[in-house]
Each structure stands twice: as structure tokens, then as C-alpha cells.
């Protein structure tokens, strides 16, 4: 049994062994035991998938945390006119005042010239998110951010004159906060699981449940097919954490079973 996301490698040995051991003590059929444990495990996986994590203590907190992260990421790339003024003023207050004066008079070309002379950055219309889409995800994003910081202390790549369009783009991107977590929803629903808050927000997020039953083995796999999932920081460690958490729960149930069996057999305590 495993939770997969675009080829992530997970150590399932301890979990599989714990489930098999638990199945030997259950009155249920092996397939039913596996389904029950899959449901419990996969709910745990959904509950640690971003925006869950960090300091979020609830689904609503996770959503707030995710929306904040989206805005921070975008606004770290695009500066507003006010940001441009502040950056110029750090080294040249008269130039900053001249920049602002030109903007007030509608002379954006002159204002942009001053900005470029001082910072090496341009001023223009918002690009509709092209820069953000190009640099969001994995190492490409980290490289872009790193290069930007070497050019400017504030890290902006360029500045926009139409902050309202930038804000609208941020709001639109914030609606995608639950997209990755929603990639688990079809599998959870197929198992009859209680869907954690937010993880069914996007019904179009791709994912599926795969069940294999043969005379050799029974396997239940939850797949999250959201394209950027593998590039999310710590996603593999998070899923492994959820699996290890279930191993701990199964180990405690096994210990309880052994102790009860020992008492029923007349022993004062179970063997170590």
C-alpha cells in the first residue's frame, strides 16, 4: 500500500509489515483490513499536504497560511511604484523624488529611466503573471530568486505601474491554494474516507485510487497527479511522516493485543 506523487520514492516496508501483522489478528478479511488501513493512512497524507504544515493548527489556518505564502511569493518578484520609490530612496533620495514627480505627471518613460539608472530594473505594465509562472516551481524558482537578490537588496525583478492588475492576479492565484491537496480527494472519496478540510476544494485536481488484487498480493495505491507536486518542498518527507505515524498506531495496537493474549493465557505480563 502506498501514496504516490509523480514517482516519489517512499519506504513502505515498516508500514506493510505492520499491516500484515495486524491482519493476522483481525476477524476481517485481508482486503477489508487493507482498505481500512489505506483509508486511515491516506487521510493522514492529505492532512500533511500543503497548505497543511508549518504552524497551521487547522484547515482554515492552513488556508490562510497558503494564501499568505502565495502573495509573498508573487510580491517578492513584482514591485509596485511605491516599492520602486523606496528602493531608489535607499541610495538616492533626490532621484526617488524625481521618479515620483514624473509618475505624478504621467511621465512613466522618464520615471522608468531613473529607476533603471539606479537599480538596473525596469518599470512597466504587469505581465499577467508570466514571470511568476516561469519561475514558480523547484530549482528554477530558487535560482531566479537568488539571482534577483544579488541585483537588488529587495529582491524585485521588475516594477509594475498597474498595481491593481498585480493584486487581481494575486487574488486569482490564491484560489489555487488547495489544488495540490485536492489531488488526493478522488482516492479518499473512493475509500469512503472523511475528507479533510479543503482537500476537495478543486474537483478537477487530477488523482486516482488504484487497487490490485491477485493470488499473490493486495495493493492499494493513492496517486496524486498534480503536475507540480513532486517539486513541492518536503513533500516526500511529509508523506513518509504520515506513513510512520500509522506504523506507530499499529505498533500500539499490536502491543495491546499481545498483552491481552498474555493475560488470557495466565501470564502476568507479555514477553519482551
**Residue 236's pLDDT is what?**
86
Query: Is-above-0.95 flag for pTM?
Result: no
Residue 8 predicted with pLDDT over 80 = no
| Per-residue pLDDT tens over the stretch 160-211 | 999 999 999 999 999 999 999 999 999 999 999 999 999 999 999 999 999 9
Number of C-beta neighbours around residue 169 at 10 A: 18
Name the more confident of 103 and 233: 103
Written as one string, the DSSP assignment of the chain is -EEESSS-----HHHHHHHHHHHTT-SS-HHHHHHHHHHHHHHHHHTTSTTS-TT--SHHHHHHHHHHHHHHHHHTTEE-HHHHHHHHHTT-HHHHHHHHHHHHTT-HHHHHHHHHHHHS--EE---TTHHHHHH-SHHHHHHHHHHHHHH-TT--SEEES-HHHHHHHHHHHHTTTTHHHHTTHHHHHHTTPPPPTTTTS-TTS-EEEEEEE-SS-EEEEEEE--TTGGGSTTHHHHHHHHHHHHHHHHHHHHHHHHHHHHHHTT-SS---
CA angle (206, 210, 212) in 5-degree steps: 170
Between helices 30-46 and 13-23, what is the axis angle to 10°? Answer: 140
Residue 246 has pLDDT above 70, yes or no: yes
Q: How confident is the model at residue 142 (pLDDT cuts 50, 70, 90)?
A: very low
Q: Is the pLDDT of residue 240 over 50?
A: yes
**Per-residue pLDDT tens over the stretch 202-235:** 999 999 999 988 877 888 888 899 988 777 878 8
Q: How high does pLDDT run on average in the chain?
A: 86
Other CB atoms within a 10 A radius of the CB of residue 205 amount to 22
pLDDT(86) > 60: yes
**Residue extents of the structural domains in the chain:** 2-51+178-262, 64-174
pLDDT the model gives residue 7: 58
**Mean pLDDT, rounded, for 152-164:** 81
Share of the chain above pLDDT 70, in %: 88
The three cell numbers of residue 147 are 539571482
69 phi, psi to nearest 5 deg? -65, -40
Q: Picking from 27-41, 141-155, 178-192, 218-232, which range would have the lowest pLDDT averaged per residue?
A: 141-155
| pLDDT at 147 exceeding the cut of 50 | no
- Closest by CA position to 250, among listed 3, 10, 38: 38
Distance CA 152, CA 159 (A): 12
Amino acid at each position: 500500500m502506498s501514496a504516490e506523487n509523480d514517482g516519489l520514492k517512499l519506504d513502505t516496508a515498516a508500514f506493510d509489515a505492520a499491516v500484515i501483522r495486524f491482519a493476522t489478528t483481525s476477524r476481517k478479511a485481508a482486503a477489508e483490513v487493507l482498505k481500512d488501513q489505506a483509508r486511515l493512512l491516506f487521510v493522514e497524507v492529505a492532512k500533511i499536504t500543503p497548505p497543511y504544515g508549518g504552524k497551521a493548527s487547522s484547515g482554515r489556518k492552513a488556508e490562510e497560511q497558503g494564501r499568505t505564502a502565495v502573495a509573498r511569493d508573487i510580491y517578492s518578484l513584482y514591485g509596485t511604484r511605491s516599492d520602486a520609490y523606496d528602493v531608489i530612496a535607499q541610495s538616492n533620495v533626490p532621484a526617488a523624488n524625481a521618479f515620483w514627480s514624473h509618475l505624478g505627471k504621467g511621465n512613466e518613460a522618464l520615471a522608468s529611466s531613473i529607476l533603471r539608472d539606479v537599480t538596473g530594473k525596469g518599470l512597466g505594465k504587469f505581465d499577467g503573471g508570466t514571470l511568476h509562472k516561469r519561475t514558480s516551481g523547484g530549482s528554477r524558482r530558487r535560482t531566479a530568486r537568488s539571482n534577483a537578490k544579488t541585483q537588488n537588496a529587495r529582491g524585485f525583478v521588475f516594477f509594475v505601474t498597474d498595481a491593481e492588475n498585480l493584486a487581481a492576479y494575486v487574488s486569482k492565484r490564491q484560489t489555487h491554494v488547495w489544488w495540490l491537496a485536492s489531488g488526493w480527494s478522488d482516492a479518499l472519496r473512493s475509500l469512503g474516507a472523511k475528507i479533510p478540510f479543503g482537500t476537495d476544494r478543486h474537483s478537477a485536481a487530477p488523482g486516482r485510487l488504484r487497487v490490485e488484487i491477485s493470488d499473490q498480493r493486495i495493493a492499494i495505491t493513492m496517486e496524486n497527479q498534480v503536475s507540480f507536486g513532486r517539486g513541492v518542498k518536503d513533500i516526500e518527507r511529509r508523506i513518509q511522516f504520515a506513513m510512520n505515524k500509522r506504523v506507530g498506531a499499529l505498533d500500539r495496537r499490536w502491543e495491546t493485543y499481545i498483552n491481552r493474549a498474555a493475560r488470557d493465557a495466565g501470564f502476568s505480563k507479555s514477553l519482551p
